[in-house]
Structure 1
């Protein structure tokens, strides 16, 4: 296997996505369920009233079971290359947004950052310092660069195999508050 620390972001992303796709459906289901249990037990989740989460894409951890929890939920919707939080209620219709991800309809109510207590974001990889490697579109980077979003606690979720000791990151990358995998949850110092 190629030493990961010497790979650029694009090469590392390809390698890690291939590894994630190699997980069986049963493994992904079991890991997703364990991640959801760890998230529910976390203090950040328990304190949150309104949560911006995500709809799973491909082999990402599937946290849709959390959407049944008694909280106010929002999902991101890409518009003009930026993410916006839109209200979501279980079984509400979804449609693909500008990033090709299922999201609430464009005419659904938006939620301001001031109303969000917690952000839950998937990753291609995450390191021990909370730096996230995404798909490369920069959507969550732009969201979190906005001062209104920066102070909101943010948990990055990934499978344990996606945890790296160190990831390449740029000066504008913002580390996450916590990381959650099927093996547990931890706050970033």
Structure 2
């Protein structure tokens, strides 16, 4: 399956930057195939794999030490992080506003309920406090796929791409959350794409270069 989804072996950066629409077109077919594969996964298997992903994250000391972690509410068969979100700790959850992600503070016993928002994704309440980026130490990012170099394939909206290019989010530890079948040798990427720090699947937590200092 990984070979089917792999991108061409070499795409020069000059070509990527000058013809971004060509790279975007390369992403369309794997997006459709990956979504289809994920949606076919039985719910029992999805929950088993999700539990293992949560277990790998909890076993990493950096997760326990993170004072504020950005996460997400699963949607369309994404790995389910509910087991982590139930922990009584500080989380940041996203709300879609136009083409931006607005991050709000949340924890299980807070007074701000989660509710269906844009695209049907569960989102934090508008009244909940905003996240201060300087407090964030870890970002868990949903992906359709990640490659071994840390480049991610998303849904095409560019929400996380735009966010990670902003200076206030620089130098944060970023972990792509995917099922193992979607950890690929290579995905199509633009010259300006920013690699993630690591990838977590049901098979383990994999760092792109080296594990962050604890």
The normalised TM-score by structure 1 is 0.93
Indicate if the aligned counterparts of 1:80 and 1:98 stay in contact, CA closer than 8 A.
Answer: no
Asked if 1:22 corresponds to 2:22, the answer is: no
Indicate if the aligned counterparts of 1:81 and 1:98 stay in contact, CA closer than 8 A.
Answer: no
More strand by share: 1
Structure 1 or 2, whichever has the larger Rg, is 2
Any residues of structure 2 matched to 1:33-44 within 5 Å, and which?
33-44=51-62
Indicate if the aligned counterparts of 2:89 and 2:107 stay in contact, CA closer than 8 A.
Answer: no
Asked if 1:139 corresponds to 2:140, the answer is: no
Asked if 1:60 corresponds to 2:61, the answer is: no
Task: Compute the displacement of 1:80 (Å).
Answer: 2.5
Q: Equivalents in 1 of 2:4, 2:99: separation in Å?
A: 33
Asked if 1:9 corresponds to 2:27, the answer is: yes
- Cα deviation digits, residues 24-79 of structure 1 (max 9, x gap): 11110000000000011123312201111000001000001101224211101111
The SS at the match of 1:37 is: helix
Asked if 1:82 corresponds to 2:83, the answer is: no
The SS at the match of 1:3 is: helix
**Match of residue 71 from structure 1:** 89
Q: Equivalents in 1 of 2:118, 2:169: separation in Å?
A: 21
Task: Compute the displacement of 1:99 (Å).
Answer: 4.6
Q: Equivalents in 1 of 2:183, 2:192: separation in Å?
A: 21
- Cα deviation digits, residues 117-168 of structure 1 (max 9, x gap): 1100111000000111011100011111111112111111100011110011
**Match of residue 114 from structure 1:** 134
Indicate if the aligned counterparts of 1:125 and 1:163 stay in contact, CA closer than 8 A.
Answer: yes
Q: Equivalents in 2 of 1:95, 1:140: separation in Å?
A: 21
Q: Equivalents in 1 of 2:108, 2:170: separation in Å?
A: 27
4+ residue segments displaced more than 3 Å = 96-100
The normalised TM-score by structure 2 is 0.83
Indicate if the aligned counterparts of 1:75 and 1:104 stay in contact, CA closer than 8 A.
Answer: yes
Where does structure 1 lack aligned partners over 5 or more consecutive residues? Answer: none
Aligned residue pairs: how many? 189
**Match of residue 19 from structure 2:** none
Asked if 1:186 corresponds to 2:206, the answer is: yes
CA RMSD of aligned residues (A): 1.7
**Match of residue 129 from structure 1:** 149
